[in-house]
Amino acid sequence: MQNLEFIKEFIEEATVHVETVENGLLLFGNGTDEPDTIHGIFRAVHSIKGTAGFFGLQNIIKIAHVMENLLGEVRNGNLAMTNDMVDYLLAANDCLKEMIVDVENSDDRDVSVHIENITAILENRKPNPSIEPVVEFVITDEKNQEVLFADNEKTIITDALKHGHGLYKIRLRLNENIKANPSPVMFFNKLSSIGQIIDSYTDISEVGGLDDILNADINFIFLFTTVLEKTLISLALDIPEEDIVELDIDTKKEDLAQILMKDLDFSNAVQKLEPLSVQRQIGESNTGTTKDIIAHSVAIEEMKSVNSPGSSMISSASPNVDDAGDMVKKAQAVAVDDTVRVHVSLLNDLLNLASEMVLGRNQLLRCLEDHRKEIAGLNSVLQNIDNITTELQEKIMQTRMQPVAKVFNKFPRIIRELSKKLGKDIDLQMEGTEVELDKSIIESLADPLTHLIRNAADHGIERPELRELQGKSKTGHVFLKAYHEGGRVNIDIIDDGAGIKVEKIKAKALERGLMRASEAESMSEREILNMLFQPGFSTAEQVTDVSGRGVGMDVVKTNIEKLGGAIDIMTRPGQGTTFRLALPLTLAIIPSLIVEVAGQKFALPQVNLQEMVRIKPGDPNRKIERCQGAQVLRLRGRLLPIIHLGNVLGLRKEPLDTTKVVRVLVLKIGTKQYGLAVDAIHDGEEILVKPLPKHLGECPCYSGVTILGDGKVAMILNPEGISGKANLRFTEEQPKKSAEEEQSAMESMAESQNLLLFQCSGTETFSLDLSMVARVEPIQASQIERIGEKEYIQFRGDSLRVIRPEQYLPVTRREGQPDKLYVIIPKLVKYPMGILIHRIDDIIQTRVKFNQENIKAKGLVGSTILHNRIVLVINIYDLFELAAPDQYQVHERHSHSGNRRTVLLVEDTPFFAKMERSYLEWAGYRVLYGSNGKEAWEILQNSSVDVVVSDIQMPIMDGYELVKRIRADQGFASLPVIALTSMTDERSRQLGREAGFDFYEAKLDKERILDRLEEALRLRREAG
């Protein structure tokens, strides 16, 4: 059944045409149409009509016909395209689209609405005097019957006549005549290239429906104008001459003359029918509209430039039959499209084979590695195979790449309709439509993106009156942007609407029972925003039929994650929302890192890999610290949770052994970051992703399987799933990407603090800086022993005094204690004491902003708000001084030691700055303050300073740099500089002394700091 193939081809072709029509019409809607637009639409509709004629698809022909009539009027300037017309045409085009997809049932549809609508426009239009005089003519067929034409058809004929074209009626027998041509579509294209079809109809009087058409021979009759003679048409189209009937055109001679005159004066008419003008250049060898007019003109240009014999032959339209036939064929050959349609399954097979070949190459290289030197010439052969395979794979990958325009193109339409439906003014802008992604990704993107676009229009953009009230432009903007970033493609959907109200989401999530009130309190903004992706969540106040049915966002997230992508929300109340999709370029082959745990190899996709960290035991700069079971690594001032892959997968029970070298992979998913420890790291390898076998069920830790170069199967790790399995809860807001302003850059660089949040017997939440905590030990209440007024526990074979902060601080106290308690063992203290607490709340990383001084007491640095709770920050030295005055009381001699001398305190962390300042002021120093080295340096230039006390790790300019500058400057030669730091290991001390610090002390040791200050000042006096 060859005809079935034809139908398929028609569907493919027509689908492209309806898209052209839709896109073109939308340009009219925006007012961004160009002169070419209407021609393009017209040609597309015309082609649909023409080809549908071959199959007797009556409904499609009918709709295409009225559309063509209307478009023809517009094209000829008799009618201006209005918004209403665009709407009707779009609706008709949609109907066409649906019928094309379902050709077999297309004739059962009721299309009368569309036809009536469009006909009505045609009838209602005001008679618009034609710019050019239409020739009065009467056309008769062989039986001398008059043939009637629609106006636009007359125009075509008029135009054709001007160029001396003949008018023919051609009868085609579908099965017979088209045999010589590959298919009706090709035949139609051929027809279009030599002339212009004016009208066509299918004689289906004997045919019942599509099924019959497929088998029966049907007659297809069309009216056709061309410059070619009857014999030439027969030759060119390969149809018998007797099926071609030349029609007589009876025109008044003076009319024709007038038109020809006009044509000579200024080629007004020619310009209007651009295809004709182009084709006239090649000696009018062929006329009429063809769908690949561009290909033609390009071909013509080429012919001109090379000045081939063919071009001269064409330009001298010879009457010789053979020559003319040749000519037609040549023009045809040059115009052939340089693309080939290939079925996707073939591409997929190719891709799979190429991938297997890559694996084969890997195996080959591995096998022959040892013999490279032994066998002469092997090395270059292997290299050659290596390169070719890589290139082959890349090229095949490219065949599957498609521009995102494929998905983006439907959004102007959606936005146009939404803005009408919702009564909002919305403008859609798109950028980066040329960015390419794998076909399978492009296809799966359509639904999620549509959903997000609808959301932006429905929930995001406010009503116009509301926008005006807020001083925004009445028109809302939706911005769709695709761009490359770090080996991935990001797609941003940005609206300048109301933004998402975090409180509202919280309330809704509580109402829906998606979280408990207690959870809500401790959730960060990001976590709350992520509630949007929970199944069964909808924030729309009214459920509209556009969106807000409570399904979708969770599906969006799942779909994006299935593609190996991630979705992120950024919102600013009143200013808009951005959804960011981060997508892999392709799914099939990905670069990965092979890692090993418990003797088993796993593949880790490199897209998520940020860096690899090797931690040697005893390295003071990089060490894994423990925090109540949780292991963390300090990486550039941030705490990175560390989990071991073996623990997550259940391959090992024992916790991470920090006495050996630990290899940590820093992984990033969206804004979340964590460290995955593994036993060994092998090479990087390009792997072919195969889906997880269904029988494995739900294994969140894996995203697929692959076959490694050694032929063994390896699981592909899924960083997202692993973090879920390991119960990593990401609470804190990561600093924004810099580059915005220096301010935000500074903020993100500022040393943030890691706070341990805990509670004692009362309701207050306390916090301590983690840098002052050596460890936290769980203990049983029964282990606490009382000696006199004091409490002790046994700790590492020694007795350790423990204190309860609530006994010394002005906070609530309750009787009774749980069986299980915790003891915080502080570090950097002279006389160790444990702090007894009831419950550990959390460890968070944040930059503390202290509240106004309304909560003030000895033992507290101040208060701050974290997770919507007031948190009291404990001053551990004050607290210890209260608990053990004999050990901790700073000698009274210090109280006025400062003597109004000036200290320049340089410290970026507000918490430490506040504490240190309080010591210094207590001792009677005058304190100047700089939050980093640069600020301090500026202060030094303008003020007289007796001594500098500086932190080491600071943004912009650190302590080392500062002291180097001071030492390099003659004017400050004798200025004492004391380093105060939490890095108190010997190596850091060494570094500090080399940099030029006079003293190197631990932060917060009040007495020692004051001693050092005096000593430094005394030395200076002596030196002076």
Partner 1 sequence: MTGKVLTFYLGGLLFGLDIVAVKEIQRNIEYTPVPDSPAHIVGLFNMRGQVVTLLDLAYLLNNEKEPEKGRTVCIVLKPKADAPDHIGFLIERTGSVVDIHDDISEGPPANMSGELTRFVKEVVKLNEELLMVIDSEVIFEQ
Which residues of this protein are in contact with partner 1, per CB under 8 A?
Answer: 356, 359, 600-601, 648-651, 690, 693-697, 699, 701-702, 705, 707, 711-715, 725
DSSP 847: -
Among residues 234 and 718, whose Cβ is nearest to partner 1? 718
Phi, psi of 333 (to 5 degrees): -65, -40
| Closest distance to partner 1 from the beta carbon of 831 (Å) | 48
| Closest distance to partner 1 from the beta carbon of 713 (Å) | 4
| Closest distance to partner 1 from the beta carbon of 728 (Å) | 16
| Closest distance to partner 1 from the beta carbon of 380 (Å) | 28
**How distant, in Å, are the alpha carbons of 445, 561, 691, 771 from that of 448?**
6, 11, 21, 45
Phi, psi of 609 (to 5 degrees): -85, 125
- Whether residue 828 contacts residue 834, with contact meaning beta carbons closer than 8 Å, is answered with no
| Closest distance to partner 1 from the beta carbon of 393 (Å) | 15
Among residues 728 and 745, whose Cβ is nearest to partner 1? 728
Phi, psi of 436 (to 5 degrees): -105, 145
| Closest distance to partner 1 from the beta carbon of 717 (Å) | 11
Q: Which two tokens stand for residue 392?
A: 């082959």
Among residues 553 and 603, whose Cβ is nearest to partner 1? 603
Rounded Cα distance between 439 and 397, Å, is 10
Among residues 630 and 713, whose Cβ is nearest to partner 1? 713
Rounded Cα distance between 955 and 7, Å, is 69
- Whether residue 420 contacts residue 464, with contact meaning beta carbons closer than 8 Å, is answered with no
Using N-to-C axis directions, what is the helix angle for 439-455 and 411-422, rounded to 10°? 20
Among residues 600 and 671, whose Cβ is nearest to partner 1? 600
| Closest distance to partner 1 from the beta carbon of 598 (Å) | 8
Residue corresponding to tokens 């079925």: 343
Among residues 698 and 892, whose Cβ is nearest to partner 1? 698
| Closest distance to partner 1 from the beta carbon of 690 (Å) | 6
- Between β-strands 833-837 and 798-803, what pairing exists: parallel, antiparallel or unpaired? parallel
DSSP 290: -
> Which DSSP string do the residues of 657-716 spell out, in sequence order?
-TTS-EEEEEEEETTEEEEEEESEEEEEEEEE-BPPPGGG---TTEEEEEE-TTS-EEEE
Among residues 85 and 359, whose Cβ is nearest to partner 1? 359
Question: To 5 degrees, how large is the angle CA 506–CA 577–CA 729?
Answer: 45
| Closest distance to partner 1 from the beta carbon of 360 (Å) | 9
| Closest distance to partner 1 from the beta carbon of 630 (Å) | 21
Helix, coil or strand: residue 541: coil
Contacts of 767 (CB under 8 A, 6+ apart): 755, 756, 757, 758, 864, 866, 871, 872, 873, 874
The four Cα atoms 206, 212, 218, 222 give a dihedral, to 10 degrees, of 100
Among residues 60 and 358, whose Cβ is nearest to partner 1? 358
- Whether residue 671 contacts residue 529, with contact meaning beta carbons closer than 8 Å, is answered with no
Number of H helices, E strands in the chain: 37, 41
Among residues 302 and 356, whose Cβ is nearest to partner 1? 356
Among residues 173 and 690, whose Cβ is nearest to partner 1? 690
**How distant, in Å, are the alpha carbons of 278, 310, 322, 323, 1011 from that of 319?**
22, 16, 9, 8, 114
| Closest distance to partner 1 from the beta carbon of 646 (Å) | 8
Rounded Cα distance between 103 and 273, Å, is 32
| Closest distance to partner 1 from the beta carbon of 601 (Å) | 8
**C-beta neighbour count of 384 within 10 angstroms:** 10
Nearest to 136 by CA among 154, 159, 163, 162: 154
Among residues 618 and 697, whose Cβ is nearest to partner 1? 697
| Closest distance to partner 1 from the beta carbon of 677 (Å) | 15
Rounded Cα distance between 642 and 728, Å, is 10
Rounded Cα distance between 291 and 297, Å, is 12
Among residues 500 and 705, whose Cβ is nearest to partner 1? 705
| Closest distance to partner 1 from the beta carbon of 343 (Å) | 19
| Closest distance to partner 1 from the beta carbon of 120 (Å) | 52
> Which DSSP string do the residues of 450-493 spell out, in sequence order?
HHHHHHIIIIISPPHHHHHHTT--SSEEEEEEEEEETTEEEEEE
- Whether residue 808 contacts residue 856, with contact meaning beta carbons closer than 8 Å, is answered with no
Among residues 497 and 646, whose Cβ is nearest to partner 1? 646
Among residues 143 and 695, whose Cβ is nearest to partner 1? 695
Among residues 365 and 699, whose Cβ is nearest to partner 1? 699
Among residues 601 and 839, whose Cβ is nearest to partner 1? 601
Residue corresponding to tokens 């109301």: 498
Rounded Cα distance between 430 and 76, Å, is 32
Rounded Cα distance between 352 and 959, Å, is 57
Among residues 672 and 725, whose Cβ is nearest to partner 1? 725
| Closest distance to partner 1 from the beta carbon of 183 (Å) | 32
| Closest distance to partner 1 from the beta carbon of 193 (Å) | 45
